[in-house]
Amino acid sequence: MIKHWKCITLLLATSLPPSSAVAQSGLIRVIESSEERRAILEEQPAISFGVQRAPELTISINDAVRYQSIDGFGASLTDSSAWLLWSKLTEAQRKEALVQLFDSRKGIGLSMLRQPMGASDFALDDYSYDDMPAGQGDADLNHFSIQRDQRYIIPILKEILTINPQTKIMATPWSPPGWMKTSQSMIQGSLLPTAYQPLANYFVKFVRAYEQAGIPVFAITMQNEPLHVPNNYPGLNMTAIEQTVFLRDNLGPSFRDAGLKTKILIFDHNWDLITYPITVLSDARAADFADGIAIHCYGGSVTAQTELHDRFPEKPIWSTECSGGEWQKGNMLEQQARLLIDSIRNWSKGVILWNLALDQNHEPYLGGCNTCRGVVTVKHDVTPAQVIPTVDYTALAHASKFVQPGAVRVDSNSFGQGSLEDVAFRNPDGSLVLIVLNSGGATTTFNIAWNGKYASYSLRKQSVATFVWDGK
């Protein structure tokens, strides 16, 4: 793997020509990565379309058939990630790291962030925006404040938005303030009946406070993993019926009355629990306030997303959390590339991994996962500290650098796991992008068929390649 950002800067800035250079020459750019060869985003010799079709598998692209639009790809600026970037790097290192992550020309062009509202499992301490002494409440939210986020989270978000103004920010609480809950703590418990409207007002105050700080909030979800109640970091048990009532009677009307344009997404839990969003969206009045569905990858099959799309085609889907970690065995690039491909083929408008940055010990964290992997590793046990890209960086880059926000997925056939897996897009500028994973055990030669023409390419085993050409 590349060991530090200086190498990445050289790779992205000098090895990858602008898309227009290939478009003008009528060629197809090819960018390939392989975990086995320790190769990241290697520009390969361009290929071209012709009339001859090799006697091999054919991936056919039909950009006249279009599916969902794409918001982008990204990760979560958890409290832990922001603290590492702010306190363990020099200002110059941090700015360079953010450019490499969010600038589409100099870096990989991430354009989505999931922002915890208060503490998650990856935070330095347990906090909300309205903490009160034990036994006291604040139903009028007189003590609400985002001051803690002003230390380093909001400054970093501002730097990111300066680099990439198209970045969309989703926000999610792991727990409301403890005084709103049966446990009277950020840990465990459920929402008190008297706290439904105060929690709705809490969301309104959060969105307004972030907007006043210069951070527009694209969407919120009501609760991270509402059916998972951890015992050592913030969480909340919120049943599907409770979420339905909260959305229908409190949060939806509060956003409407406040004139907020921020989207409200439901669910935010795993593929194998989709009876939950089905229950919420089966209530017509609640469904009117639901702008879409957030979903995680930690249980079940990605095809659950297509089940939800088929039932509720007017409700878009975003994949909002999927962490890599030490539990993964085998070729991790293959696994992470498949996650992106399958999520998009099953109707995701965006794919957001988990921590943007963790350190060499997978820290800091409050509880829960102690082997999770960040998109980058901030290695601060050496001097100077290093920012090391992980396999998640590479997988994201194959989509985020080349698929522009506002692109649409277009039709392509795929041969499935153990062969060629792929997904295709049409960008707003008219360019076409095809991402192909060869998950087979040998180099595979295949055709790309488009507009009555064919191009042939041989992709090494367990490698991923992105193809870009002018589709005008």
CA distance 290 to 353: 23
Joined together, the tokens standing for residue 100 give: 């490499």
Contact indicator for 58, 435 with CB cutoff of 8 Å: no
Say which amino acid occupies 370. N
> What are the angstrom distances between the C-alpha of 374 and each of 129, 157, 388?
25, 17, 10
Omega prior to 230 cis, within 30 of 0: no
Joined together, the tokens standing for residue 275 give: 């009876």
CA distance 181 to 190: 5
Joined together, the tokens standing for residue 431 give: 């360019």
**Active-site choice (35, 96, 321, 334):** 321
Contact indicator for 70, 409 with CB cutoff of 8 Å: yes
**Active-site choice (225, 242, 334, 421):** 225
Joined together, the tokens standing for residue 355 give: 């921590």
What are the respective helix, strand and coil percentages of the chain, to the nearest 5?
30, 30, 40
Residue with tokens 């960018």: 31
Joined together, the tokens standing for residue 97 give: 């790291």
Omega prior to 364 cis, within 30 of 0: yes
Sign of CA dihedral 259, 261, 267, 269: negative
Beta strands 463-470 and 431-438: pairing type? antiparallel
Residue 259, SS3 per DSSP:
coil
Of the candidates 450, 381, 360, 364, the one whose C-alpha atom is nearest the C-alpha of residue 411 is: 450
Please list, in sequence order, all residues whose beta carbon lies within 8 angstroms of the beta carbon of residue 465, skipping any fewer than 6 positions away: 30, 31, 32, 33, 44, 398, 435, 436, 457, 459
Residue with tokens 């919420």: 280
Q: Is 321 a catalytic residue?
A: yes
Contact indicator for 234, 176 with CB cutoff of 8 Å: no
Query: Looking at the annotation, which residues are catalytic?
Result: 225, 321
